[in-house]
Chains A and B, each alone.
Chain A
Amino acid sequence: MITAFGKYITMLYSIFLKPEKFSIYWKRFVDEVIQLGLKSLFIVILMSGFMGAVLVIQTASVIDSAWIPDYTVGFTVKQSMLLEFCPTIISLILAGKVGSNIASELGTMRVTEQIDALEVMGVNSIGYLIGPKIIASLFIFPIVIMYSMVFGFLGGGIVCYATEIIPVEQYIEGIRSFSEDNFGYIRYALIKTSVFAFLITSISSFFGYFLKGGALEVGKASTKAVVYSSIFILIANYILTQLILI
């Protein structure tokens, strides 16, 4: 465990060594933004839309009292989406999609000696392969999460319009209520997302990069990457919530 942690720290140190050629690393960064972020956008939008829709129905069905105004549904959906669903649940989904992708990509490169080939050429393989992934995820995941927020609210709005479970105006009023706190909540969500992005890419890269063995181990590394990323996301979620919100 201590050895693994030491290797992880050494890996992080190697990422920040001077790149051999900045233009090549920039191209890698752009590729990773597309691979990790933009190619995840569809699933994130889809899930967020449905999450928002389901949240509206569930909240409206629970708050079934004449004493509680309808806009409470919109307010509850906003709070749930901003504070937990978008940053944490979507990050857990990204840990599954992106984490397994990174671990299997790097693991396969290790098994097929592509990483050795980079090392023999004199390329800092950690900096070249992992660095752009981490920086790209730190850049693109918060943007993806902002899309998630927008489409989550939109999903809720569509349900209100289609089912008339509550009037759309009331839903929008709920979303807009207590707006002075919104900036703080969004900042909290984006800080959490950035930390989760770092954890997902660095942990998954660690399991892929230091893989030993063959195809079977690539599968195992991929599973480990998702499991450990998810565990550390949950731990970090608790710590960050304690630190920022209280």
Chain B
Amino acid sequence: MITVKHISKSFADVQILNDVSFVFESGKTNLIIGKSGSGKSVLTKCIVGLLEPDEGEIFYDDRKLSDLKPKARKEIRKEIGMLFQASALFDSLTVEENVAFPLKMFTRMTKAEIADRVNFCLNRVNIINKNLLFPSELSGGMQKRVAIARAIAMQPKYLFCDEPNSGLDPVTAIVIDELIKEITDEYNMTTIVITHDMNSVLEIGENIMFIDSGENKWTGTKDDILDVKVKELHDFIYVSKFLRQFKK
């Protein structure tokens, strides 16, 4: 479980996050949704420690992030897997080297154990016989799946996915959504997905926070999001003609 309390962050004079609080529950896919520029990515970067919030507190279970020394923070990062928007696979490494990277860096596993774990993770995301290819030789969907394999290689307690569906066709996007949901259930992880894709929201949104102009405007689940009364969220959801017709 990750808890954020009263997080604020600004760059120069621009307020990006304003008093955001939320509880990301373990064993669930927690979604942060909102328009582009609403502060979703900044909030995530604050949570993983890539940015320091100006105010507020972040708790990983009962560990308060701001109270931890750099070494302890580093330990927390080893419990985090992250799927980036552009996959962020290392160009110079093959698929299997990418997945093996955190294992080689942080564990004392033997070569055989690492190879087993890499194959297990790649099989789990349905990447078969691609071990020796480089990321540039894979399609966008495959790159995302390899990135998921790398993210789960260390059996993380917390999984962050930054717009996992961006640049993917609807079919592949649903495959990735389902994969994230399955992995979350399987390993009982605290998964946080940042998205503005309503298909993802309706597919996997078990615990949703809507951010607008840096503020938490609504929290709920996929079951009650379509009946929402908050104007900003209503406008966000029903901007698509399809959903407007669906509602009618």
Contact = CB atoms under 8 A, between A and B. Distances in A.
- Which of B84, B85, B89, B105 has the most chain A CB within a 10 Å cutoff? B105
B234 to A, nearest CB: 32
A122 B104 contact: no
B88 A113 contact: yes
B90 interface: yes
B106 A113 contact: no
A112 interface: yes
Interface in B82-105: 82, 84-86, 88-91, 101-102, 104-105
A122 B88 contact: no
Contacts of A123: 105
B88 A117 contact: yes
Interface residues of A, number: 15
Contact of B104 (A24, A114, A119): A24
A236 B48 CA distance: 41
Interface string B37-72: 000000000001010000000000000000000000
Contacts of A113: 84-86, 88
Interface string A104-130: 000011001110110111110000000
A20 interface: yes
Nearest to A119: B50
A24 B50 CA distance: 24
Contacts of B50: 116, 119-120
A129 to B, nearest CB: 10
Q: Is the interface of B mostly helix, strand, loop or mixed?
A: mixed
B102 A121 contact: yes
B162 to A, nearest CB: 8
Nearest to B76: A122
Contacts of B90: 114, 117
Given A20-B105, A24-B105, A117 B82 contact: yes
Given A109-B91, A122-B74, 12 more contacts: A21-B105, A112-B91, A113-B86, A114-B90, A116-B88, A117-B84, A117-B90, A119-B50, A121-B78, A121-B102, A122-B75, A122-B106
17 contacts: A20-B105, A20-B106, A21-B106, A24-B104, A109-B91, A113-B88, A114-B88, A114-B91, A116-B84, A117-B82, A117-B88, A119-B50, A120-B48, A120-B80, A121-B106, A122-B75, A123-B105
Interface of B: 48, 50, 74-75, 77-78, 80, 82, 84-86, 88-91, 101-102, 104-106, 160
Interface of A: 20-21, 24, 108-109, 112-114, 116-117, 119-123
